[in-house]
Structure 1
Amino acid sequence: MTEPCDLSAVAARALIGARKLSARELLESCIRRMDAVDPAVNAMVARDDAAARKAAAKADEATARGEALGALHGLPVGIKDLDDTAGLRTTYGSPLYRDFVPREDDRVVAALRDAGAIVAGKTNTPEWGAGANTRNAVYGVTGNPFDPARSAAGSSGGSGVALATGMVPLATGSDMGGSLRNPAAFNGIVGFRPTPGLVPSEKRLLGWSALSVLGPMARNVPDLCLLLCAMVSDDKADPLATTIHGRRVRRPEDFARPEAIDLASLKVALTPDFGFAPTERVIRESFADKVKAIAPLFHAAEEATPDCAGTDEVFAILRAVSFLASHLDKVRDTPEMVGPNVRANVEEGLGYRALDAARAMRQQTAIYQRWQHFFARYDVILSPAVTLSPRPWNELFPAMIDGKPTRSYFHWLALAYAVTIVGHPALSLPVGLDRNGMPFGLQIVGPRGGDAKVLAVAAALEAALAGDPLTARPVPDLARLATARPIAESPNFLGFG
């Protein structure tokens, strides 16, 4: 019999609404799963089971009274440890905040609670989300559920692993250089980077910068849409989220479920590297394998890429500027409490001039405009989500790809940040395993503002590919994880790298 924690979020919510499953039953199933497998992977790093049980009991009382129920009523969620949760420790993966307990929820957490969600715990992240290998000096490393010795990616690695192992049906993420798309790909789940402003955030210190966004993560596309509809809002606290005074622009109901779409009517572009990303050979070959199964579903599928010349420089400069705004004081005042990734970005930023930032923003605009011309010919772009197959987590970052040195600790994220700098929506969809036997993520990139289109294409592909082991979502061996050695016993478990 299927454990309640293995139900899809959509199915579990329907059962709760029909009084065939209680919120308490679902939460207890999730708690049992956490207790059984989390020692092997270290994904759910802060919990308050008593508070969660109290919330579940209140949810069941509301159901019994026949009250109107929110979209997420009774569903446990994992909250990335960059998001403040009232009464539950929030560390940002930083020793500076090792014992910090917020008094208030961040906007996105409050929105999920208002929709009826139950916070099951905090999911692990690298320090301040810097780096795509989820490890820090507070909670240690998060291991990949398909091989705990390998990276879960990041920075939403804890959320990706918690979903893959059934600890929670839904989880939050955030994305700058692929921080929710990368762990979605490495762990065999779905992660969506929405158009900046669709999911408001009041925490970006550079409020008009579109690099960093919040987004949903789930095990399938309909579940992801269910979570997204609770996150979407017009919110004046985010300058990217309010566009027309007095008129509602972003409507949650528009994203509650994926729209129907005819894949056979679409023309797609296929690219393994956007013309510049250092894509590993095994990923190129795995992408070619997947394309054989995927391409016939579309009206036309052609090898093509937008002109991304200058993307590496643009992302490096604008990322460094963002880190200066957020972390310069920490590096100057408490350098011994800051890890190497944050320090590297701040030091790089200090080396740039205003002229460099102006040049980067001008290049960014030119690249964006070239993308608009490209999308006049294609409906969506398909690419691998990540440039390489999961590697051991004790490698802080990939210094070499196929024998060639990478430019920086984030260069291997180029397939993701190619999309970041132009602000288009993108989703990582699990499509079987790569040639190394690890999960493979297919990145689906839509046109400007085409969030609903990306979700529709992803849902249609997911349904079409689910019956084939080559392309179906992979599932980790939970029995093996339940008997595995605790990852905390691994050498170098705790630390920045």
Structure 2
Amino acid sequence: MRDLAELTATEARRLIGRRHISPVELVEACLARVEALNPVVNAVVAMKQDEVRAEARLSEKRVMAGEPLGAVEGLPFGVKDMINVTGLPTTFGSILYRDNIAMMDDPIVAAMRAEGGVVLGKTNNPEFSLGGNTRNAVYGATGNPHDPTKNAAGSSGGSAAALACGMAPLCTGSDTGGSLRNPAAFCGVVGFRPSPGVVPGNGRSVGLFHFSISGPMARSTEDIGLMLSVMARADRADPLTCVVEGRTFWSPDDFARLRVTDPGRWRVAFTEDFGFTMTESIIRRAFAERIRALAPMLPKLAEAHPDCTGADRIFSVVRGLSMLSSHLDGVRRSPESYGPNMHANIEEGLSFSAEDVARALTDQTSYYRRWQSFFEEHDFILSPAVTISPRDWHELYPTEIDGKLSESYYQWLSLAYASTLAGHPSITLPVGRDERGMPFGLQIIGRRNEDAALLSFAREIEAICSADPFLSAPRIDAAKLARHPPVSEMPGFLGFD
């Protein structure tokens, strides 16, 4: 019999609704994976197993009593340690909040619970989610499930690793420069960055900036749609969410019931670097192989990309401005309590003048309009999700790519933030392995606010790839992984050195 921990969320929810499996059985299978594999990768950093089991029993009672069931009834989900779960720590990966216990649920968690979801626990992230390597001084490093000596990426690395290990079928994540998409690529799962406002957020210090967005992570595109249908809601507290008479322009059903589409009808562009990213040669070769494999099914495929002039500079300035608004006062009060990435952000942010900010905001507007012009001629863009193949997690960030020095600790995330700047939805699909045997992530970008159309197209690409052993999503060998030495026993596990 198939291990229940390996079921997708959609499969598990269907079986629960038919009473073929129970929420308790599913939760026990996931907890068994946590017990066996979490010491190896350090993905789940806080949980209360008694409460997890109690929630599962309540869900089972609803099922057996024939009550109306929620969209995610009985499904365990991991919660990134940036948002609150009542009674569990919310540390943000910072020693300043090591003892911070949440007194109430974040709206995302509350929405998932209201639809029958079962909180499994908190998943690891870097300090304040800064950077693409999930390491911090509170919980230590998260290893890649496909090779625990390698980086799980970030900042939603704990969520991606938990999904790859079968610890939960769904996890929350958040994304500024690729924090949903990059760990999904490194760990062989699916991560989706929605259009601004689709998933309302109350954690942005500058609410009108669209860089930081929450979104779903899972093991299939259909599961992403299922979770997004719960996370997406009408909420006037987020200035990016358009609410008219209590409703948004999209319906949750748009995400929960994706339309069937013919991928051959769409005009699809592809690019390995958007004309500016430092894409590693191994990633370029892997991407070229995927394009050759997909080309027969995409007759309107063409090599092209939007004009991304100034992308690195715009991202640096606007991101720096956002970091100052959130963390400048704290760093000034207690500089010794923050890690190197935070100090790099603050120093960079302070280096920009008002003229730099004005120019960056103006340039971002021009950038956005160029992207809209591009999408008048194309429906989707394919690219690699990340510029590099996973590396040793001891490397805080790549200082060089193919011999070229990085200008910042986040420049290697540029394949993701290319679309962040324009506010377009983007999904990462696991598409086989690269020549080093590590997962390869394919990024698909759609039109702004056409999230359901992007998910429908991505599901068709996913189906094509799943039928090809070369392109199918890489899976871990759980028994083999369980025998690997725990990541906590590796030198440099805790902190940044």
* Residue correspondence of structure 1 range 89-100 to structure 2 within 5 A: 89-100=89-100
CA distance in 2, matches of 1:305, 1:253: 31
Q: Deviations over 1:303-324 (max 9, x none)?
A: 1111000000000001011111
CA distance in 2, matches of 1:253, 1:40: 38
Q: Runs of 4 or more off by more than 4 Å in structure 1?
A: none
**How many Å apart are 1:12 and its aligned residue?**
0.7
Letter in 2 for 1:241: T
**Structure 1 residue 281 and structure 2 residue 281: aligned?**
yes
CA distance in 1, matches of 2:27, 2:319: 38
* Paired position in structure 1 for 2:194: 194
**Structure 1 residue 475 and structure 2 residue 475: aligned?**
yes
Q: What is the RMSD computed on CA atoms of the aligned residues?
A: 0.9
> Contact between 1:278 and 1:387, CA under 8 Å: does it hold in 2?
yes
CA distance in 1, matches of 2:247, 2:45: 40
SS in 1 for 2:174: strand
* Paired position in structure 1 for 2:318: 318
Q: Deviations over 1:282-306 (max 9, x none)?
A: 0001000111111111131111111
> Contact between 2:234 and 2:246, CA under 8 Å: does it hold in 1?
no
**% identical equivalent positions:** 53
**How many Å apart are 1:243 and its aligned residue?**
4.2
* Paired position in structure 1 for 2:5: 5
CA distance in 2, matches of 1:243, 1:106: 20
> Contact between 2:72 and 2:117, CA under 8 Å: does it hold in 1?
yes
* Paired position in structure 2 for 1:431: 431
> Contact between 1:234 and 1:250, CA under 8 Å: does it hold in 2?
no
CA distance in 1, matches of 2:243, 2:24: 41
> Contact between 2:235 and 2:243, CA under 8 Å: does it hold in 1?
no
- Give ranges in structure 2 of 5+ residues lacking alignment: none
* Residue correspondence of structure 1 range 251-330 to structure 2 within 5 A: 251-330=251-330
Q: Deviations over 1:393-428 (max 9, x none)?
A: 000000000001011000000100000010000000
* Paired position in structure 2 for 1:464: 464
**Structure 1 residue 379 and structure 2 residue 379: aligned?**
yes
**How many Å apart are 1:392 and its aligned residue?**
0.4
SS in 1 for 2:238: coil
SS in 1 for 2:376: coil
**How many Å apart are 1:65 and its aligned residue?**
1.6
Higher mean displacement: 449-458 or 309-318: 449-458
SS in 1 for 2:302: strand
CA distance in 2, matches of 1:335, 1:391: 29
* Paired position in structure 1 for 2:166: 166
CA distance in 2, matches of 1:153, 1:430: 14
Q: Deviations over 1:211-242 (max 9, x none)?
A: 11000000011111111111011101111113
CA distance in 2, matches of 1:259, 1:442: 21
* Paired position in structure 2 for 1:127: 127
CA distance in 1, matches of 2:183, 2:246: 38
> Contact between 1:143 and 1:149, CA under 8 Å: does it hold in 2?
yes
> Contact between 1:233 and 1:250, CA under 8 Å: does it hold in 2?
no
**How many Å apart are 1:136 and its aligned residue?**
0.2
> Contact between 1:180 and 1:217, CA under 8 Å: does it hold in 2?
yes
> Contact between 2:236 and 2:243, CA under 8 Å: does it hold in 1?
no
**How many Å apart are 1:250 and its aligned residue?**
3.4
> Contact between 1:432 and 1:440, CA under 8 Å: does it hold in 2?
yes
CA distance in 2, matches of 1:251, 1:387: 34
* Paired position in structure 1 for 2:38: 38
**How many Å apart are 1:249 and its aligned residue?**
2.6
CA distance in 2, matches of 1:29, 1:478: 13
**How many Å apart are 1:88 and its aligned residue?**
1.0
CA distance in 2, matches of 1:222, 1:39: 30
> Contact between 1:234 and 1:249, CA under 8 Å: does it hold in 2?
no
Higher mean displacement: 433-442 or 252-261: 252-261
**Structure 1 residue 53 and structure 2 residue 69: aligned?**
no
Q: Deviations over 1:353-399 (max 9, x none)?
A: 22211111100010111111111111100000000100000000000
CA distance in 2, matches of 1:435, 1:176: 28
**How many Å apart are 1:246 and its aligned residue?**
4.5
**How many Å apart are 1:247 and its aligned residue?**
4.1
CA distance in 2, matches of 1:296, 1:365: 36
Q: TM-score, normalised by structure 2?
A: 0.99
* Paired position in structure 2 for 1:400: 400
SS in 1 for 2:120: strand
Letter in 2 for 1:493: F
* Paired position in structure 2 for 1:66: 66
**How many Å apart are 1:257 and its aligned residue?**
2.9
> Contact between 2:277 and 2:387, CA under 8 Å: does it hold in 1?
yes
Q: Deviations over 1:255-280 (max 9, x none)?
A: 11322110110111110000000000
CA distance in 2, matches of 1:356, 1:32: 52
Letter in 1 for 2:124: N
CA distance in 1, matches of 2:481, 2:434: 21
**How many Å apart are 1:248 and its aligned residue?**
3.6
Q: Deviations over 1:438-497 (max 9, x none)?
A: 100000000121211210111001111112121000001211111111110000000034
* Residue correspondence of structure 1 range 361-376 to structure 2 within 5 A: 361-376=361-376
* Paired position in structure 1 for 2:360: 360
Letter in 2 for 1:418: A
SS in 2 for 1:431: strand
* Paired position in structure 1 for 2:347: 347
**How many Å apart are 1:20 and its aligned residue?**
1.5
SS in 2 for 1:59: helix
* Paired position in structure 2 for 1:224: 224
